[in-house]
C-alpha cells in the first residue's frame, strides 16, 4: 500500500506489530497490521491529584500495574495472539526516566521471550507519523504541540528538521501549569478551553516571538500573577489561549511562507483544542496549503503512534539488540535518522 511518499512492501501473509508507549502519564499498547491499518489502541492514563502534576515515581508505578492488562486488551481487541507478532516497538524517549523504563522493560521481555526484533521509536516522530498517516499527508510542515514538545518541523535529507521551537516551556506546560495554579489536575487543556468559551474580555499578556521561536515563561508568570490578584479565571483562560495560540500561529505562518510546503499538519495533545485548529486552518488557507489535524483519539500519547512508526521503521530495517536497548530521556527529534522517508 502507498503511505504518502513511501511504500510498504506487498506480501501474501499479513503480519502484525505491537507498539508500547510509556513516556509520561500514559501507558498505551497498539497493534498494527502490515496492510497499513491500526487494529487496536488501548491505554491507561495515570491521573495526578487535582492541583498537582505528574509524579514520575507514581506514574511509573501506575504503568507497572497496568502494563499486562493493557497489552492483553490490545491483542484481544485486534483479534490476534502474541505468537502472530512480527516485531515489538517501544517508545525509547524522550520522556520521564522511570516511566520509559517500564515500557522498555516490558518490550525487552516480550521480544526476548517471543524471539522478535525490538524496534526503538522516538516519541516525537511517533506523534508526527501517526498524524501524517491519518491525514494522508506526504510532505507536511508539522506543528507538534504537547506537554513535552512545541516545535515546527519539516522533513529534509533523512531527518525531521526543526524550523522553530519553544525557548523554554511547551504550550502544554503553559496550559497545565496555569491549570494547576487554578486547582485543576493535568492535563488541564480541555477545562481551560471550556472556560474560555464564556469569557467576557481579553486581558493583555506578554507576547514573545523571537524569529521562528517562541517563549511562554513570561506569559505563564503574568497569567498566574493576575489569577492570584483576583482576575477572572474565564477571562484569563481565554486570554492565555488567544495569546499563546497566536504566537504559535505566527511562527507557523512564517515557516509555511519560508518552506512553501503545501500541507500543514498539527499533532500532539494540544491539537485537540478546537479554537487552535480553527486558527491554524485559517493560516493554512491563507497560504493555499491543506490543513490536517490528528484525530482526538491519537492526539494525546498513545500506543498507536509507536506501533505505526514501529511498522515503518521495521520495514526500513531498524531494530536494536536487547542488551543495547537503553532509553533516552533526552532525544531530540532532529537527531533521529528517518530511513523510511525519501528526500
Cα distance between residue 110 and residue 117, in whole Å: 10
Residue with cell 514538545: 149
Q: Is 234 in the site for other proteins (CB under 8 A)?
A: no
Residue of 249, 262, 295, 316 that binds other proteins (CB under 8 A) = 249
Cα distance between residue 37 and residue 53, in whole Å: 34
Residue 318, C-alpha cell as written in the block: 531498524
Q: Is 305 in the site for other proteins (CB under 8 A)?
A: no
Closest CA to 22 of 42, 36, 52: 42
Beta strand 263-267 pairing with 141-145: parallel
- Binding segment for other proteins (CB under 8 A), chosen from 58-66, 255-263, 264-272, 311-319, is 255-263
Shortest Å, Cβ 140 to other proteins? 15
Q: Is 242 in the site for other proteins (CB under 8 A)?
A: yes
- Binding segment for other proteins (CB under 8 A), chosen from 14-22, 62-70, 131-139, 236-244, is 236-244
Strand partners, 93: 122
CA angle 204, 208, 209 (to 5 degrees): 135
Q: Is 207 in the site for other proteins (CB under 8 A)?
A: yes
Q: Is 204 in the site for other proteins (CB under 8 A)?
A: yes
Residues 232/235/240/243 CA torsion (nearest 10 deg): -140
Cα distance between residue 38 and residue 17, in whole Å: 10
Closest CA to 141 of 1, 283, 272, 275: 283
- Binding segment for other proteins (CB under 8 A), chosen from 1-9, 37-45, 149-157, 180-188, is 149-157
Residue of 82, 86, 209, 320 that binds other proteins (CB under 8 A) = 209
Q: Is 96 in the site for other proteins (CB under 8 A)?
A: no
Shortest Å, Cβ 11 to other proteins? 35
Shortest Å, Cβ 254 to other proteins? 4
Is-contact 256 288, C-beta < 8 A?
A: no
Q: Is 200 in the site for other proteins (CB under 8 A)?
A: no
Binding site for other proteins (CB under 8 A): 93-94, 148-149, 151, 154, 156-157, 161-168, 170, 202, 204, 207, 209-213, 239, 242-243, 246, 249-250, 253-254, 256-258, 278-279, 282-283, 329-333, 335
Amino acid at each position: 500500500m502507498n503511505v504518502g511518499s513511501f511504500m510498504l512492501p506487498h506480501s501474501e501473509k499479513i503480519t502484525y506489530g505491537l507498539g508500547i508507549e510509556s513516556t509520561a502519564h500514559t501507558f498505551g499498547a497498539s497493534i498494527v497490521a502490515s496492510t497499513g491499518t491500526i487494529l487496536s489502541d488501548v491505554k491507561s492514563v495515570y491521573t495526578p491529584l487535582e492541583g498537582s502534576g505528574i509524579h514520575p515515581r507514581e506514574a511509573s508505578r501506575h504503568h507497572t500495574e497496568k502494563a499486562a492488562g493493557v497489552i492483553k486488551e490490545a491483542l484481544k481487541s485486534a483479534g490476534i495472539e502474541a505468537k502472530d507478532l512480527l516485531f515489538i516497538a517501544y517508545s525509547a524517549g524522550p520522556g520521564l526516566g522511570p516511566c520509559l523504563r517500564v515500557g522498555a522493560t516490558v518490550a525487552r521481555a516480550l521480544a526476548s521471550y517471543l524471539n522478535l526484533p525490538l524496534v526503538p521509536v522516538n516519541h516525537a516522530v511517533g506523534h508526527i507519523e501517526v498524524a501524517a498517516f491519518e491525514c494522508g499527508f506526504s510532505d507536511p510542515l508539522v506543528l507538534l504541540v504537547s506537554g513535552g514538545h512545541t516545535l515546527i518541523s519539516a522533513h529534509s535529507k533523512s531527518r525531521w528538521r526543526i524550523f522553530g521551537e519553544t525557548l523554554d516551556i511547551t504550550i502544554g506546560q503553559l496550559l497545565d501549569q496555569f491549570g494547576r495554579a487554578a486547582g485543576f489536575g493535568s492535563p488541564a487543556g480541555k477545562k481551560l478551553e471550556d472556560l474560555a468559551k464564556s469569557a467576557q474580555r481579553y486581558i493583555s499578556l506578554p507576547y514573545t516571538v523571537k524569529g521562528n521561536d517562541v517563549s511562554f515563561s513570561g506569559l505563564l508568570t503574568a497569567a498566574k500573577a493576575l489569577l492570584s490578584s483576583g482576575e477572572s479565571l474565564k477571562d484569563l483562560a481565554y486570554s492565555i489561549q488567544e495569546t499563546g495560540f497566536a504566537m504559535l500561529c505566527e511562527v507557523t505562518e512564517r515557516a509555511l511562507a519560508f518552506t512553501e510546503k503545501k500541507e500543514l499538519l498539527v499533532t500532539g495533545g494540544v491539537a485537540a483544542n478546537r479554537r487552535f485548529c480553527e486558527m491554524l486552518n485559517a493560516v493554512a488557507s491563507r497560504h493555499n496549503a491543506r490543513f490536517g489535524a490528528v484525530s482526538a483519539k491519537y492526539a494525546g500519547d498513545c500506543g498507536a503512534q509507536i506501533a505505526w512508526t514501529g511498522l515503518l521503521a521495521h520495514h526500513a530495517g531498524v531494530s536494536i539488540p536487547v542488551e543495547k536497548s537503553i532509553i533516552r530521556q533526552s532525544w531530540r527529534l532532529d537527531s533521529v535518522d528517518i530511513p523510511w522517508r525519501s528526500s
